[in-house]
Each structure stands twice: as structure tokens, then as C-alpha cells.
Chains A and B, each alone.
Chain A
Amino acid sequence: MRATVVIEGFGPLLQNIQRLRSALTRQGNQSAWNGAQHLFARTRAVVPYKDGDLYNSAYIANVSPSEDRRIWVVGYDTVAVPYAMDVHEIPNRIHPTRGPSPEPKQDHFLSEPADAMRKSYPRTVADDMERVIRRTRMVR
């Protein structure tokens, strides 16, 4: 006696997995870029501004090791502006509100915006991914 089990639909299933994988990778890349841009904007809004050198030394760099692992670095060019670390770390200095953003300026102008988004960022990425899963058209 024997039973034969036939499973159909492997072709479309593999196609759907591939589609979803591509869509999620694309969205992951976009979410990482969005996060970097957000941090870049937040830190430049509060970085002390005198002649604009420090403000203009802010950068976003792509240091991704592969297509599947997207890493962006937000920072300040401490070679071009050697006092960047000093301004970041020394507290109690008076930093007048100047420059393109009207927000008050502060020390720890990079670490504090990064800390502020640290807790919410995984949720933001998860929401992005859920949206992709809902929107991805499946092969039937």
C-alpha cells in the first residue's frame, strides 16, 4: 500500500520568495538611508555654528560591506575640523543660536540625536518592512 502526495505551486512559491526578498532588501536599503538622513538633519540642526566649518564638515558615508547589509555612517570630519571632538565633549559652553537652523545649539550634538532615535528606529524599520510585505504583489 502506498500514498502519493503531490505538492503543487513550488514555482510560484519560489518566485514569491524571491520577489519578497528583493523588495525587503530594497526597503532595508532605503530605511537605512532614511535613518542616516534623519540623523544627519537632526545633528546639523543642533551643532554649534560659528563660521560654518563644523556644520559643513558633517557627512554621510556608505560603508556597507555588501548589498544585503547596508551601513551608513553619520559623522564630522575631525581632520578638516580638529576641534570637532572638543566642541562635542566640553559641556557648559555658550553656543549662540546661529546658522541655517533656528534650534538651540549644544554639546554632544551627534550622540544625543543618535540616542534619541535609537529606541524608535527599529520600530520604524519594522513598519517599513510590514508595509512592503503587504504591498508586494504575489504570483498565484
Chain B
Amino acid sequence: MGMAAEIAAHLVANGYGSTTAPSPTIFADFFPGQPDNVISVNDTTGFEPERAMGRLVMETRNLQILVRNTTRSGAETIANNIFTLLDRFDGTLSGTRYYSILGRTTPFSLGRDENNRHRWTCNYVVRKDMSA
């Protein structure tokens, strides 16, 4: 399971929606055109990994949470609540040790898309073990 899927599962566990059919609302590494209200969890590459004694000891990756909603307040509230959930996270997700998740900014608006839906996003730096 990759980082985006692990974070998506964490969001599901905390009641933000579902990743499974028939009505998924949380997507890992995918930002579909429908449905209107979605959360997209994206692994947007990262930094050089940390090495010690000839082996990888920690990877540092970028994570993006992108929220789309038919209302501005809906998108903003979900993005901010996810920020509260993820920022300064330290624990284990789907068997992978996460040393820290830190917001690079707080969530911000990307405005509306061509279908008048509101989008909010936030980028995070994630320090973790390699995902299994």
C-alpha cells in the first residue's frame, strides 16, 4: 500500500468518507470529475531520502490533500478538519511508521472549477518509513 492509500484509509477511519464502491468519495492519487464532493489524496513526490550505514532509514515525501465541495464552507471546513487531523501526526498507519506529518501551509482556496465547485487544498511534508 502506498502513502496516498494509507492516508486515504486514515481519513476513512476518521469518518471523512469511503474509498470503496458503490459511492467512493475519497480517492488516492486520483482527482475524478465526479462526484461533486470528493477528497483527493495525492503523493506529489518529495525530497531525497535519509540514508545511514548504507541503507534507507526514512523517506521524506510530499502529500497533497485536495477537497472539492459544492459549497465554499463545506470545502473549507473539511480541509481545515483534515489539517487538524494530519498536522503533527506521529503514529502508525496501515503498518507503516509515520514520524511526522507537517503542513507546509494551512489549507487555502483554489477557487471554483468550471462547474462552480469549490476547491481547497493543503500540502504536507511527510517523514516515514518506506511503505510495505
Contacts and interface: CB of A to CB of B under 8 A. Distances in A.
Given A89-B66, A91-B66, A115 B110 contact: no
Contact of A115 (B62, B111, B119): B62
B110 A89 contact: yes
A86 interface: yes
Interface in B36-50: 40, 42, 44-48
Contacts of A112: 44-45, 62
Contacts, number: 41
A91 B40 contact: yes
Contacts of B48: 119-120
B66 A90 contact: yes
Contacts of B111: 86
Size category, A interface: 10 to 19
Central interface residue in A90, A111, A112, A120, by most chain B CB within 10 Å = A90
B111 to A, nearest CB: 7
Given A91-B29, A92-B29, A116-B47, 20 more contacts: A86-B110, A89-B64, A90-B110, A90-B119, A91-B40, A91-B42, A91-B64, A91-B66, A92-B30, A92-B31, A111-B44, A111-B123, A112-B44, A112-B45, A115-B45, A115-B46, A115-B62, A119-B47, A119-B48, A120-B48
